[in-house]
Amino acid sequence: MKVTIKLPKPRNPLAVLARQRKAGGHQRNEQSRRELKQQLRRQLAREE
């Protein structure tokens, strides 16, 4: 009698790569957005 082991479904190699790159949202976080906004206001104030 031969014993057969059922192998799990192979993982998606692209999903592993995306996870390693810390894939996620493409937007900046709140703090950096606020800093950029303030920077822009300062530049516009200087030009006036």
Instruction: Tell me the per-residue pLDDT of 6-46, one tens digit each, with 9 for 90 and over.
Output: 888 888 888 888 777 776 677 778 999 999 999 999 999 99
| Domain presence at residue 38 | yes
| Domain presence at residue 30 | yes
Taking every pair of C-alpha atoms in the chain, what is the biggest distance, in angstroms?
A: 88
| Domain presence at residue 18 | yes
Quote the pTM value.
Answer: 0.43
Q: Report DSSP letters for 1-48, one per residue.
A: ----PPPPPPP-HHHHHHHHTT----SPPHHHHHHHHHHHHHHHHHH-
What is the domain range of residue 31? 13-45
Q: How many domains does the chain have?
A: 1
As a whole number of angstroms, the distance between CA 40 and CA 28 comes to: 16
| Domain presence at residue 31 | yes
Please give the pLDDT value at position 31: 93
Please give the pLDDT value at position 23: 60
As a whole number of angstroms, the distance between CA 37 and CA 31 comes to: 10
| Domain presence at residue 23 | yes
Please give the pLDDT value at position 24: 66
